[in-house]
Amino acid sequence: MKIVCLGGGHGLAQVLSAIRPLCSDLTAIVATTDNGGSTGRLRASQECVALGDIRRCCLQLTDKQSLIHSIFEHRFDGGELDGHSLGNLTLLGLMQLTDSPTEAVAWFNAMLGNAETILPMSDSATDLVASYKNGEQVIGECEIDALTELPDNIGLSKAVPAAKGAVDAIMKADLILMGPGSIISSVMPPLLVKEISTAIKETAACRIFIENIAQENSVAGSLQGETIIDWMQEKLGYQFCDLSISPQAIEEIVVHCDELNQGQSTQHNIEQLSHVFSQLLKLPLSTKVNSTYTIN
């Protein structure tokens, strides 16, 4: 089965770990609009795409106990490199060598020995933009997350092409997974790239949105349940998913797995997601539907 995962942050990395044993062809398309922390500092100085979530996804597919995982997760302490991870700096060096973020990520992933495909949403840098009806604009993920009122529109600071291979992966996929994660800063950015949005609309794959268990600690935290999907589809301008998996559905599924019931967490974990996906893939997944169906 060919599966494509879209998103960013910790959510996408967890999904990759959970779904990896269940499919033979896995592709991740990673949001590259993060402007916070050391990733934001690299973006500002190098005018490049965000590297942190890409590094996190690639390293999530390696053995966490391995030396190479520890090396590339290492963060420098003090001086000009303070706070930067070696993985991010390696990706930056590879980008300068190849002049292509997509190629750089492929090289980095190969260095780690991963067979899965990790792609940036685009090879070109762009920022997330929130706007209001009064004309006010707020640029940058961190700045948008800190808002106290939901924006009227969400977009990109400039239109960018999809990374090479992203559209083809979506069109050939059997299943597309989006989320969990911040709906504005993790899930939406790839869906705002025109070529990706067109492919999401045209693919025959079943498109599934995974809702968050914990309430978001951002401006999107006021959205709940089906309101989240309605709001996202209004801002995106198209129906982006066929099914959504609610927190209640996840809890119902994992309740049948005794070892997962010891110490319930308020956040997704890899064991829970893996069990949910294993049960989900046993079901006959239809293609397009006329409206979004929520599993709860």
pLDDT of residue 220: 86
Residue 280 structure tokens: 């989900």
pLDDT of residue 268: 59
Cβ atoms 75, 90 nearer than 8 A? no
Token pair 């589809």 is at which residue?
A: 233
Which DSSP string corresponds to 169-230?
HHHH-SEEEE-SS-IIIIIHHHHTSHHHHHHHHH--SEEEEE--SSPPSSGGGG--THHHHH
pLDDT of residue 249: 72
Question: Which amino acid appears at position 167 of this protein?
Answer: V
* Full strand arrangement of the beta sheet holding 153-156: 137-139, 128-131, 153-156
Delimit the domains of the chain by residue range: 2-295
Helices (H), ranges, 61-119: 67-73, 86-98, 101-112
pLDDT of residue 281: 77
Spatial separation of the C-alpha atoms in residues 74 and 85, rounded to whole Å: 5
**CATH fold of the domain at 2-295:** Rossmann fold (3.40.50)
Question: Mean pLDDT in runs of 10 for the chain (296 residues)?
Answer: 93 91 93 95 95 96 90 94 96 97 97 96 98 96 94 97 98 95 94 98 95 81 82 95 82 54 54 76 62 64
Token pair 């492919």 is at which residue?
A: 199
